[in-house]
Amino acid sequence: MRDAAHSSLASIIAVIWLLIAPAQSLAAKEAVNLELVLAVDISLSMDIDEQRLQRDGYVAVLRHPYVIRAIQSGPQG
């Protein structure tokens, strides 16, 4: 089980790096209010309901008026 957890963690780190690398090069060209990286648990230990809960939570937060307002209130509008 430890190998599976290590493999999952390595996969997550690789995905995060792949998302951050392009954002870093973009940041030099374009100013943004927010650079966001989401860590998602994709391990087989989560059942369908847990995956749905995680996904729905991300959607709810990103659609919440307070979050949208906070992002839009940054220096870049």
Tens digit of each residue's pLDDT (9 = 90 or more) over 25-58: 555 567 777 777 788 888 888 888 988 888 888 8
Q: Is residue 34, in this structure, part of any structural domain at all?
A: yes
- Residue 43 structural domain: 2-72
- Matching residue, tokens 């992002």: 71
Residue 66 CA to residue 15 CA, distance in Å, equals 28
Q: How many helices (H) and strands (E) does the chain have?
A: 3, 0
42 closest CA partner among 29, 55, 25: 55
Tokens standing for 18?
A: 């792949």
Residue 67's pLDDT is what? 85
Q: Is residue 24, in this structure, part of any structural domain at all?
A: yes
Q: Is residue 35, in this structure, part of any structural domain at all?
A: yes
In the chain, how many domains are there? 1
Q: Is residue 77, in this structure, part of any structural domain at all?
A: no
Q: Is residue 48, in this structure, part of any structural domain at all?
A: yes
pTM for this entry: 0.53
Going 11 to 17 to 18 to 19, the CA torsion angle's sign is positive
37 closest CA partner among 53, 25, 22: 22
